[in-house]
Amino acid sequence: MINSDKRDFLKSVVAIGGLGVGAALGLVPLSALAAWPEAAFKADGMAAAAEAFFGAGTATESDAITLKAPDIAENGAVVPISVATDMPGVTQVAVFVEDNPSPLAATFDIGENGVADVSTRIKMGKTSNVVAMVQADGKLYQTAKEVKVTIGGCGG
């Protein structure tokens, strides 16, 4: 038989439902489930997405940002990328795919004294520039790399 503590715990997991089991178990901090930048993810065009996310759309090219992505992605549905920089004062990193229907592919908040070194897999509908933007000390910086896609990943 299940004792009342276990029964109560299971009821709370079911009651939370929409937050997922990870949040119910305390494995995912509730701050991770906070509001997401909906306008930036739904924006048409990279400049509009950057404006919606960062509050500014113009970034300065910087060789202090390392963007690693394959030259050729055999499957656009799973393109591994990583972005790193040792710039001081980094607060946010965003990854854009210029020619995707929704250009904003990923965002990362970097905490105080955090290390700006992030990795993820993104979807690419076709060959396009992948752009990494970094906000550091209130300014925007970017670097880009063209990735050729042989099999589309955004509905293709």
Q: Give the Å distances, CA to CA, from 128 to 70, 99, 145, 155.
A: 12, 6, 8, 16
**What pLDDT sits at residue 151?**
76
Q: What is the pTM of this model?
A: 0.75
Could you tell me the pLDDT band of residue 145, with boundaries at 50, 70 and 90?
Answer: very high
Question: Please, which pLDDT band fits residue 34 given cuts at 50, 70 and 90?
Answer: low
Which residue segments constitute the domains of the chain, with CATH numbers given?
Answer: 1-34 (no CATH), 37-149 (2.60.40.2470)
- Averaged over 36-58, what is the pLDDT? 88
Residue 83 and residue 95 in contact, taking contact as beta carbons nearer than 8 Å: yes
DSSP 35: -
Q: Considering only 25-39, 58-72, 109-123, 125-139, which range has the smallest mean pLDDT?
A: 25-39
Positive or negative torsion for Cα 42, 136, 140, 128: negative
> Residues 89, 92, 93, 96: is their CA dihedral positive or negative?
negative
Please, what is the average pLDDT of the chain?
Answer: 84
